Amino acid sequence: MIIKRTLYGLGLAAIATVLVACGSDDPMRGTVAEPIETALVTAAQVDGVVASQPGLDQLIGAASRCDVSINKIVYNTIGPKGESTKASAGLMIPSGEGCDGPYPVLVYHHGTTVYQAFTMSDPANGEAGLQMAMFAAQGYVVVMPDYLGYGESTTYHPYLNAENTAAVSIDALRAARTTLAKMAVATDGKLFLAGYSQGGHAAMATQRTMERDYPSEFAITAAVDMSGPYALSDTFLAGLDNPGIGASVFTAMTFVGYQKSYGDVYASPEDFFQLPYATGIESLIPGTLSFEELYTTGKLPVATTGEGGLLTAATVTGYKASADFPARRDVAKNDLLNWKPVAPLQLCGGDRDPTVPFTINTTAASAYFLTQEVVVPAVDVEQIPSFQPVIAAMEAGDPDFLLNYHGGVVPPLCMSYAKNMVFDPLVAAP
């Protein structure tokens, strides 16, 4: 659920064996076309961009030691109803003198975007750029699924659909493994999962599916999920009375996606969404309009409920009244507080998050997993001493600090925590 298209301002436009099918339900899943290199970025170029972002070098913790090849891969996967379809992903491969493999592999899941053309293989993509600086230029292979509905995918986007997002992510990793094998890029067997916001939900769903369905195919070393809406039922129910920033956009994406996936949310959009917003809503997102343009052009209202809001009064009443209300049932299908992690998992976020509430999601998830006798730390970036001056500087210099908190302040901090406190020590371990 990232409102800004770029995270932390790290745009890079100026820089210009068959492991697939093991354990797969369908032998075509994860098969991949030849990769397309979209950019080759030197370590010096990465450091040049990092230097232009105050404090980012300290969050990374070391100068870049690797050049990075950014590649687009297009692969076979499945849609929410099991139908065959194609998806795309970004694949970052480190190389260069002093950066010999074998490399650990990170599967990174991106946050919400409203642009259909969004792709993590775009050298100008700020979120991908942060992964390059933080991980790929430090010696990680990074696999970054675009999700269905983005990049080379021509289908709709099944937003916050846990099972399908996990399938698409798993097939992206299978496709990446095949590509790396063909390119003779050696990996060290260590597999990390991470994701931010929508991507936090996606990363947790992916770990759940890997451990439930493919334990012999994937051995996860560790995962760090960041600012994700893990407790979807509580998040949506609370959001009807206390909507977060951007709630109407996320609500539209969620229920249009569930209608297309499950077919039970409404008989027609007007039954669920108020006019004039119901008109054209099923093809609105992802599209070509920015987050702000969705509001300024009148395609969506800022308010989620009430007069002039997105949802009809009947929708709000029905949703609050019964757990059997179809839309509420569909949300519950995609809750993630219903499993027991095997691989080490940590959660990271910020306590002041106005978009994905920290207490409802990160704190609650940690508490739930404890009932399953699994310790899953809930890390608040505000409580990490080395981050406090960084946060203070951001707050002092940004009059829209809280507006940018979810999409700009917390991501580099959580990614720094994941890299330096969780992943790097495990990479260094024998």
DSSP class per residue in 45-111? HHHHHHHTSTTHHHHH-S----EEEEEEEEEEEE-TTS-EEEEEEEEEEEESTT--S-EEEEEEE--
Residue 260 contacts by C-beta under 8 Å, 6 or more apart in sequence?
A: 80, 156, 158, 282
Please tell me what DSSP assigns to residue 140: -
Give me the pLDDT at residue 28, please.
Answer: 87
Phi, psi of 341 (to 5 degrees): -65, 145
- Taking only Cα atoms into account, the Rg of the chain, rounded to an integer number of angstroms, comes to 20
The model's pTM is 0.94
The helix/strand/coil state of 202 is helix
Phi-psi group of 147: left, alpha or beta (phi > 0 → left; psi -120 to 50 → alpha; rest → beta): left
CB distance 381 to 350 below 8 Å: yes
Q: Which domains are delineated in the chain? A: 36-231+340-428 (3.40.50.1820), 249-333 (no CATH)
Instruction: Give the whole-angstrom CA distance, residue 63 versus residue 30.
Output: 34
CB distance 151 to 88 below 8 Å: yes
Low-confidence ranges of the chain (pLDDT < 70): 1-25
CB distance 235 to 229 below 8 Å: yes
Q: Whose CA is closest to 56, among 122, 138, 140?
A: 138
Instruction: Give the whole-angstrom CA distance, residue 356 versus residue 92.
Output: 28
Instruction: Give the whole-angstrom CA distance, residue 430 versus residue 428.
Output: 6
